[in-house]
Structure 1
Amino acid sequence: MNKAKIMVFEGQGQPMSLQEQTIPDLKSGEILVKNLYTSICGSDLHTYCGLRQEKVPTVLGHEIVGEIISFSDDHSKTDHLGNKLNVGDRVTWSIFSSDPDSELSKAGMPQKGERLFKYGHAQVTIDDALHGGLSTHCILKPGTAILGISKEVPLPVAAIINCAVATVAGALRLAGNLSQKTILITGSGLLGMVCAAMCKVAGAGFIHIADINPLRLEQASDFGANETHLLTDSSVQLPGGIDVAFDMSGSADAMENSLSALAIGGKAVWIGAVFNTRKVQVDAESIVRRLITIKGLHNYNFEDFVYAVNFISKNHQVFPFEKVVSKEFSLLDTNEAFKYAVANKPLRVGINLDQQTGQSNG
C-alpha cells in the first residue's frame, strides 16, 4: 500500500491523466488519509475552464472526506478540538493549513496566515503530490484543522462541509444575530442553499432567495427559503426592508441591487465575488445615510469550520442535503465528471473514491 493514484490537471482544454505516485514517508506532524469522496466545487470548474489560474500540474479537489490510514511518529493523534483520533476514523479537514503563530492567524484569519497551503490548489512536485481530492490519498500537513465526523453522515454530504458549509458559517458569523431578521440571499447555488438552511436554523424570520436559474430556485424552499425571486424577468423587483443580504453569486448587479434592498442599519455580506468581473458601483451617500455595513469574506476560519461540522452533524437529515450531488463518477471517470458539471451546472457532482470504474446515480 505504498502507491497512490492521482488525476493530474495540466491546463485548460487538456484531459486529466491518471498517474501513480509513491506514498512518501510522513514528515513531522502529518497524517495520511485515504480519500473516500470528493465533490467538484465551483472553483475547480473555474480552474478547469481557464477562469482561474493555478500552477500546473496540480491535483484538483478540496471538498474531501477521508479515513485515517496512519500518523507521523510525533503526531498527538488528536483533532482540532483535542478529541482522540484513531486509524480508521472518518475525518474532514480545513481546505488550508497555515502557521498558527502568525499575526493573521492569531487575529482570527488563519486563511490569510503565513505559510498558507491550500489543498486542491497546489502544484504537484516529485515529493509532494498528495494534496488534492482527485486522488486516492491525501497527506494532511501541520496547521490543518482536522475534525472527526460521524459515519452516519453520508459521504456526499460530508464532502461539502470543508468548503461550502464552512464558508457560509463564516458569513453568518459576520452577519451576527439573525433571530427574526428578514434575509435576502442572491445566488441559489450550493452556497445559497446552505445559507438558507443555516439562516432557518438560526431563527431568521423570513428568507428570500433570488437567482437567474429557475431550476435551482425550485429547490430553495426545501432548504428553508420562504419566497423565491427569478431575476430573468425584468419586471421583478427585489423586496425591501432587508436586514441582512448575503451575496453568493459574485454578480455586480446582484450586489448593487441587494444594497438598495437593505433597511436602515442593514448589513451586506459578500462571499461570491471570487472571480474577475466589473466593478460594483456604490452610492456612498446612501450607504452613509442608511447606516449600511458591507462585509466581505474569503474562505473561513477554524471557528467557522467547527460550526459547519456541528451544523451538518445535527441537520443533515433536516434538509435534503443528500440531493446536493446529482450524479456520481469514479476517479477514472473524472474527465467525464467535469464535462457533465460544465454542461449541466448541478449544485455538485461527486467523485466516489471507493469506485474503480463506471458511473452511478445517473
Structure 2
Amino acid sequence: MTNLTQHPERTADRVEHTLAAIWRGGDDIALEAVPVPPLGPGDVLVRVRLATICGSDRHTVSGRRVQPCPSVLGHETVGEIVAFGTEGAGGAGGAGKVRAVDGRELRIGLRVIWSVTLPCGACDRCLAGITAKCRSLRKAGHEAWDSDWRLSGGYAQHVLLPRGMPIAIVGDALTDALAAPAACATATVMAVAERAPRLAGKRVVVVGAGMLGLTAVAAAASAGASSVTAVDPAAERRELARQFGATDVRQTMPDTGPYDVLLEFSGSSAALQEGLRTLDVQGVAVLAGAVLPDAPVAVGPESVVRRHLSIVGVHNYEPRHLTAALDFLEETRDRFPWHELVAEPVPLEEIGSLLISSPGTKPRYAITAY
C-alpha cells in the first residue's frame, strides 16, 4: 500500500516547459519543447515515469484509425504527481481537494495512473453510470494539439490531467511496467469480466492472446474457471497463454466446445463467427476487440433464442475498473509472469520507431521520459 504521507514536505513547483512527442500525421513524430499551460482548479500535473505502446496508437499512425491530428498520443501511462491547480491537493493552502477514484487524497509525489476517458459527469449517460459513453467524452492521448487539452498524451515528459479525470494511486508492490498497462488493457479486461457471468466453474474461451487476451486468460483462471482455452495464430502467444493459466491453447478456433463464455479480443469477424457456434445453452459472448471495421458476422436469431445466448460489447471502462485492475495485478503479481509482457523501456526519443513498427514480439513496448 502506498503511504499517503509520502513526500509530505514537497510542494507544487511550477513546471514551465516540457518535451512532448507530437504526431503530425503518418510517420511524422517529433519531440518538441512546449510550454505547460497554467493549471486550473482541480487540475493535476504528472511527470511521466513510463508509458507503454498500445496497439491502437500504432493503428492511428498507420492510418487504420482516425483521430485528431496533430496530437500527443499515449494512454497507458504511470506518472508521479508534481503539481496541482490553485485549488488542488498536496500544495500549500489546498490539501485534500483532489481525490483518487477510491476516495483517498492525492498528494505530491504519489505514483498514479488515470483513465483513458474524461467524462463530463453531467449528461444522462454519466448520471446513469455509463461514463465510458459520455455524450461529450474526451480521451487521454486522443485530443487535438490545438484544443484546450494539448498535453493529454503519455508520450511526453508531463501530462496535464484536467479536473474530473479519474485517477488511481499505484501501490508500492507494483512496478511501473505493470502499472502502465493497467490504465487501458488491464482495466478494459476488468470491464469485460464484469459483463461476463460469474466465471467460477465456467468453460471459457479467449480469442486473441495479445495484452488484453493474456490478461483475460489470467482473470478467468484466477476466478476459478473450470477450463480456459486461448486461441491465437502466434505460437509465442499461445505459449505465454499457458503461463497465464490457459488449460488449452489453439491456433484457430476449435469446433469442439462447448463453452459457457467467449471473450473476444482479436477483432476478427471470422474467429467470432466460429466462436459463437461453440457456445452452450445460456452461453455469453463478450466482444471487446472489434474496434476497427471488419466483415459482418452472421447470427441466426433462432439459434440465439433456442440456446438462450447473450452477446454484449465493451468499449472503454468505468473509473472503478482502474482500482480493480491495480488490485488484480497486486493479487496475481507472484502467480503470473507479468514482467514477460513488457519490454525494457527505451528513451522517449525512440517513440517514433516504436509507433511505426513493432521491434519484436512482446505484447507491450515502453518508453521513459527522463
What TM bracket, shorter-length normalisation? over 0.9
* Structure 2 CA distance for aligned equivalents of residues 145 and 317 of structure 1: 27
Of 159, 163, 167, the residue aligned with 2:188 is 167
One-letter code aligned to 1:34: R
Describe the superposition over 1:334-362 as per-residue Cα deviations: whole angstroms up to 9, x where unpaired.
12222441x535301111223xxxxxxxx
Whether 2:151 is the aligned partner of 1:135: answer no
One-letter code aligned to 1:22: P
Number of the residue aligned with 2:123: 102
Q: Which moved more, 1:257-266 or 1:70-79?
A: 70-79
Task: Give runs of aligned pairs for residues 197-346 of structure 1, distance below 5 A.
Answer: 197-231=218-252, 237-341=254-358, 344-346=360-362
Of 46, 52, 76, the residue aligned with 2:59 is 46
| TM-score, with structure 1 as normaliser | 0.93
Q: Which moved more, 1:75-84 or 1:90-99?
A: 75-84
Asked whether the equivalents of residues 144 and 150 of structure 2 are also in contact (C-alpha less than 8 Å), the reply is yes
Asked whether the equivalents of residues 117 and 316 of structure 2 are also in contact (C-alpha less than 8 Å), the reply is no
Task: Give runs of aligned pairs for residues 1-150 of structure 1, distance below 5 A.
Answer: 1-12=15-26, 14-75=27-88, 76-125=97-146, 128-150=149-171
Asked whether the equivalents of residues 154 and 322 of structure 1 are also in contact (C-alpha less than 8 Å), the reply is no
Asked whether the equivalents of residues 203 and 227 of structure 2 are also in contact (C-alpha less than 8 Å), the reply is yes
Unaligned runs of 5+ in 2: 1-14, 89-96
Describe the superposition over 1:41-76 as per-residue Cα deviations: whole angstroms up to 9, x where unpaired.
011010011100111101111000000001112231
One-letter code aligned to 1:7: A
Number of the residue aligned with 1:351: 367
Q: Secondary structure at the match of 2:343?
A: strand
| TM-score, with structure 2 as normaliser | 0.91
Unaligned runs of 5+ in 1: 355-362
* Structure 1 CA distance for aligned equivalents of residues 320 and 98 of structure 2: 20
Asked whether the equivalents of residues 63 and 161 of structure 1 are also in contact (C-alpha less than 8 Å), the reply is yes
Q: Secondary structure at the match of 1:82?
A: coil
* Structure 2 CA distance for aligned equivalents of residues 349 and 185 of structure 1: 23
User: How many residue pairs are counted as aligned between the two chains?
Assistant: 348
CA displacement at 1:327 relative to structure 2: 4.4
Q: Which moved more, 1:319-328 or 1:26-35?
A: 319-328
Number of the residue aligned with 1:358: none
Q: Secondary structure at the match of 1:219?
A: helix
Q: Which moved more, 1:323-332 or 1:53-62?
A: 323-332
Asked whether the equivalents of residues 62 and 356 of structure 2 are also in contact (C-alpha less than 8 Å), the reply is no
Q: Secondary structure at the match of 2:286?
A: strand
* Structure 2 CA distance for aligned equivalents of residues 286 and 100 of structure 1: 39
CA displacement at 1:227 relative to structure 2: 0.4
Q: Which moved more, 1:118-127 or 1:169-178?
A: 118-127
CA displacement at 1:136 relative to structure 2: 0.3
State, as a whole percentage, how many aligned pairs show the same letter.
Answer: 31
One-letter code aligned to 1:205: S
CA RMSD of aligned residues (A): 1.5
* Structure 2 CA distance for aligned equivalents of residues 116 and 213 of structure 1: 35
Asked whether the equivalents of residues 193 and 220 of structure 1 are also in contact (C-alpha less than 8 Å), the reply is yes
Describe the superposition over 1:142-189 as per-residue Cα deviations: whole angstroms up to 9, x where unpaired.
221111111331111110001000101011100021111000000010
Q: Secondary structure at the match of 2:101?
A: coil
CA displacement at 1:114 relative to structure 2: 3.1
* Structure 1 CA distance for aligned equivalents of residues 259 and 235 of structure 2: 22
Q: Secondary structure at the match of 1:101?
A: coil
